[in-house]
Amino acid sequence: MSSRAEPAGGGCPPANATARTIAREARSESPLWGAALRAQPEWEPVFSPLAPDRYALGLETVYEAYLVHYGRPRLFDPAEESERVLLGDYLYAHGLVRVAETGGVEAVAAMAELISRCASLRAGGSPGEGAAWVDAARALGGDPSPAAVALALVRHAARAELPD
């Protein structure tokens, strides 16, 4: 049984305001993205609790893009691989726009470094993507506690298809 929403893109609205915004804007952007919304979202913030609140929407949008490409997304379940690639790229771009609006060039540079670092680790089959996300949250001005970092890494490991 698929976890996708009905073709109209109805799905159950996510409980979190960040998730609702990501889903609402994707649905309004394209019927294809609306149709890819999960009927039962599995939303939980992962890395945004490690960064300043103003980055939550941008950071979680970029993380959802990462999950669409490399793991188990919380909000989306694209039917085809081509949809997965396009949706992930759309979410990366949308997330970077949100980060730029909030934090300017330095924040976008931190996110670009994160995306590049994760892609490089993936290409090499190397571990360390979770640490890259933590470093990005810190580069955005976050000062997370060790407990918050540990929780984010556990949540990340449960959703990402990590290299061995």
**Helix intervals (H) in the chain:** 17-29, 31-35, 56-70, 81-124, 129-139, 146-159
DSSP string, 44-83: ---SGGGS-GGGHHHHHHHHHHHHHHHB--SSB--SSHHH
| Residue 40 CB neighbours (<10 A) | 11
pLDDT in tens, 52-86: 999 999 999 999 999 999 999 999 999 999 999 99
Quote the DSSP letter at residue 38.
Answer: B
SS3 of residue 139 by DSSP? helix
The pLDDT value recorded for residue 112 is 96
pLDDT in tens, 24-46: 999 999 999 999 999 999 999 99
Domain layout of the chain by residue ranges = 17-159
* Contact (CB, 8 A) for 137 and 51: yes
Q: Give the global pTM.
A: 0.91
Task: Check residue 141 and give left, alpha or beta (phi > 0: left; psi -120 to 50: alpha).
Answer: left
Mean pLDDT (the chain) is 91
pLDDT in tens, 131-147: 999 999 999 999 999 99
